């Protein structure tokens, strides 16, 4: 059981690790200043591919639910994320995004009735602090619109993650189909905005085509399938605590492939953020306490001896 859970966490972690390569691929291979077109190419072809593989359309209320999840996780998230990245200095967008676990802890209390724990709050704070040490650069005044876009993108993805856990999946529908629904809905939402704001698609050379293929297939179709698969089997909080792996991977790629140096402070931040990510995956301990009994000899059927399992965070 523990080995299966470790494998599930590892596979889910591949999603944010893949997303951490997006910046390098975008800056090295793709046309400049086309964030909406890039978001569209990431989302819509990947969604259509997964729909073709799954061959399961939404039914009933899931037309609306898929549209909401697609808007939150893809359609609103991608444009807001790119907007913040273009308007904020250095890694500030990544720092704001790293507070996602704290957003999810609060939203889980509101939407799932899951009481926030001191451990979750502390771990989320340490993760955000560690990421800030890794990616934050000294800069002047921050752009208010960029900060607002970064906060909105984090809130959008966090809300979509919690709602995905709350709604689960309809019976007989796997994570492949659910991911395809969301990517397609999000891509269709981005499409008119991309053509309205950025105009016709740019001319693409060989590296750009390869970069877009990587983003659409590995970075989006496969990565989001692993992400939503993880949400279906873990808690939203556990999955979101894997999010800091994205900026950490971006820093590692910059060091390994782009010749960017890592200072001792950045290495310390990496250790803090990675440690918090691991701590966020530790399952709550379970102990048993005597259950309250009604008058008479009747015992609780929940556990032998009338004892009820209690989660201890």
The SS3 assignment for 289 reads strand
Q: Are residues 68 and 194 in the same domain?
A: yes
- Contact (CB, 8 A) for 24 and 254: yes
Q: Are residues 69 and 127 in the same domain?
A: yes
What does R_g of the chain's alpha carbons equal in angstroms?
21
> E-strand spans in 190-291?
285-290
Q: Are residues 273 and 311 in the same domain?
A: no
Longest CA–CA span in the chain (Å) reads: 80
What pLDDT sits at residue 151?
Answer: 86
Q: Are residues 232 and 292 in the same domain?
A: no
Q: What confidence category does residue 133 fall into, taking pLDDT thresholds of 50, 70 and 90?
A: confident
The SS3 assignment for 284 reads coil
Q: Are residues 123 and 32 in the same domain?
A: yes
Q: Is the pLDDT of residue 143 over 80?
A: no
Q: Is the pLDDT of residue 28 over 70?
A: yes
Q: Is the pLDDT of residue 43 over 80?
A: yes
Domain around 294: 287-313
Q: Are residues 211 and 233 in the same domain?
A: yes
Q: Are residues 116 and 62 in the same domain?
A: yes
Query: What is the C-alpha end-to-end distance of the chain, expressed in Å?
Result: 20
Q: Is the pLDDT of residue 238 over 80?
A: yes
Q: Are residues 83 and 181 in the same domain?
A: yes
Domains held by the chain: number: 2
Q: Are residues 185 and 296 in the same domain?
A: no
Q: Are residues 268 and 246 in the same domain?
A: yes
What pLDDT sits at residue 260?
Answer: 67
User: Mean pLDDT for the chain?
Assistant: 81
- The span from the CA of 20 to the CA of 234, in Å, is 22
Q: Are residues 224 and 308 in the same domain?
A: no
Mean pLDDT of 134-140: 60
Q: Are residues 137 and 175 in the same domain?
A: yes
Instruction: Please tell me the pTM assigned to this model.
Output: 0.79
């Amino acid at each position: 059981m523990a080995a299966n859970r470790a494998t599930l966490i590892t596979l889910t972690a591949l999603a944010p690790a893949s997303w951490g390569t997006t910046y390098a691929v975008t800056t090295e291979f793709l046309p400049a200043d086309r964030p909406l077109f890039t978001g569209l190419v990431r989302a819509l072809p990947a969604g259509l591919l997964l729909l073709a593989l799954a061959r399961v359309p939404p039914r009933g209320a899931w037309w609306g639910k898929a549209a909401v999840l697609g808007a939150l996780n893809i359609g609103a998230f991608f444009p807001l994320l790119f907007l913040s990245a273009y308007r904020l200095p250095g890694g500030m967008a990544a720092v704001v995004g790293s507070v996602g676990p704290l957003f999810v802890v609060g939203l889980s209390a509101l939407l799932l009735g899951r009481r926030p724990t001191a451990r979750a709050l502390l771990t989320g704070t340490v993760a955000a602090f560690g990421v800030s040490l890794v990616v934050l650069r000294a800069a002047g005044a921050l752009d208010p619109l960029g900060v607002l876009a970064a906060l909105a993108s984090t809130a959008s993805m966090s809300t979509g993650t919690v709602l995905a856990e709350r709604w689960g999946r309809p019976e007989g529908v796997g994570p492949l189909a659910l991911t395809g629904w969301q990517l397609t809905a999000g891509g269709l939402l981005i499409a008119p905005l991309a053509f309205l704001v950025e105009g016709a698609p740019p001319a693409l050379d060989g590296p750009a085509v390869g970069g877009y293929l990587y983003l659409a297939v590995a970075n989006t179709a496969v990565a989001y399938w692993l992400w939503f698969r993880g949400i279906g089997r873990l808690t939203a909080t556990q999955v979101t605590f894997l999010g800091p792996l994205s900026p950490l991977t971006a820093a590692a790629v910059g060091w390994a492939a782009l010749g960017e140096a890592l200072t001792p402070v950045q290495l310390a931040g990496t250790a803090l953020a990675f440690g918090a990510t691991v701590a966020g995956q530790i399952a709550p301990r379970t102990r048993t306490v005597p259950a309250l009994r009604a008058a008479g000899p009747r015992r609780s059927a929940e556990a032998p001896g009338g004892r009820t399992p209690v989660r201890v965070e």
